[in-house]
Amino acid sequence: MTEQRFVHAQWSSRLAFILAASGSAIGLGNIWKFPYLAGDNGGGAFVLVYLLCVVAIGIPIMIAETMLGRRGRQSPINTMRTLAGEAKASSLWRYAGWLGVIAGFMILSYYSVIAGWAMAYFFKINSALFEHIDAANSTRLFEYFKSSPEFLGIWHTLFMVATMFVVSRGVSGGLERLSRFMMPALLLVLLILDVYAMNSGGFGRGMAFLFNPDFSKLTGEGVLVALGQAFFSLGLGMGSIMVYGSYLPPDVSIARSSLLVTAADTLVALLAGIAIFPLVFANGLSPSMGPGLIFETLPIAFGQMPGGWLFGMLFFALIFFAAITSAVALIEPAVAFLSENQGMNREKACLYSGVGCWLLGLGTVFSFNIWSEVKWLGKTVYEWVDMLTAEIMLPVGGVLIAIFASWVMTRADSEAELKLHDPRHYQAWLILVRYVAPIGVALIFLDALGVI
């Protein structure tokens, strides 16, 4: 590869990459979205399908996406263009990069709104409103909060400003520094909440719901949601892993790092479910409460705990930090592209990207209040953005990455990047990414559409 490239910074170490990539994956997808999707889709059966999707499809594609990123050393769009030229393939492959960048941009537009809820609850949990609160009042307060476009708009704005500030600081000064201490702290707080959930009175029912599969409650649409959640939670198909891979030093094992990131991401999702569902059943709530699940259940627990206001503030603060480590990964591909192709400095690229994302996010803000009755084919703006990205764009983008890495890129190039010492490991990855991942995604799509 002899052409001139835009010069990227690099992670300072393998640990820095693992923490940053874990931070990009571990966020609202694990703590907010995974529990409520599991609740909406029958619990244990959904969790089992989700785990199968992570192992058989998610891990191979994460390895492939990281590999392409390190090979290209550019934004996803330019990486796909460059690597297609290197493989003497069609220049149309650059649109796979565009798909990821646009998907990440769209996801951040509503991700920012939900993260704004966590910021607001950081302050709300310290008020007397949540002291000894019951389920009915918790739900009422949350609905009142969502009904105000002014409140949601302010917190959406504050979160976007915080995100763009971190991104503007660059790789080592912003992305890496933020990840180093936030991920261990989040894990510690989740473990504390898990211990509390064990003594909540609903632990047995929560565990049965989460880990006892009842496939009669799982539909074809639920399987597609589980697949989309695997991509969403791991950050696949949205350009984040590819651009983070572009900052990866050449001596770091892609496969080992990808496995560690996936393990951390999946562990946090399960720990969140273990903390939340016992509290749901202990307080007589429904597990299928939708996007407001953690904002309606956890305040009840914090209101009953000795010193609950402190744990509550800490929890919602860490949700915010987990969200922001994912948010910077979602916007980083767009910032990298503007820096490379438009000659913008990082600060200007952040400003343009942030303002655009903020404007798009207003559609989600209004979906919960003044536009709540404005629907197309039964879905609000937020529901359409969520469905299009998680259930269509991310899986399709992931399949395109799998096909390119295994069929278009030469075996010599992929072997040189992966550096797998045992040929059997490379062969296993190649089979999974070449056949299992694309066919699995295709079958899940066809089943959800009722074709099979």
Domain boundaries, the chain: 14-448
CA distance 31 to 291: 11
Q: What architecture is the 14-448 domain classified under in CATH?
A: Up-down Bundle (1.20)
Specify which residues 376 forms β-bridges with.
379
How does pLDDT run across 203-251, given as a tens digit for each residue? Answer: 999 999 899 888 888 887 888 888 888 888 888 888 888 988 888 888 8
CA angle in degrees (0–180, nearest 5) for 287-291-293? 40
Q: What does the block give as tokens for 199?
A: 């003594």
CA distance 61 to 203: 35
CA distance 240 to 243: 5
Nearest to 398 by CA among 428, 438, 431: 438
The mean pLDDT of 22-41, rounded to a whole number, is: 80
How does pLDDT run across 407-430, given as a tens digit for each residue? Answer: 999 999 999 999 888 889 999 999
Q: What is the pTM of this model?
A: 0.86
The mean pLDDT of 377-397, rounded to a whole number, is: 89
CA distance 334 to 164: 12
The pLDDT confidence band at residue 434, using thresholds 50, 70 and 90, is: very high
CA distance 446 to 448: 5
The pLDDT confidence band at residue 6, using thresholds 50, 70 and 90, is: very low
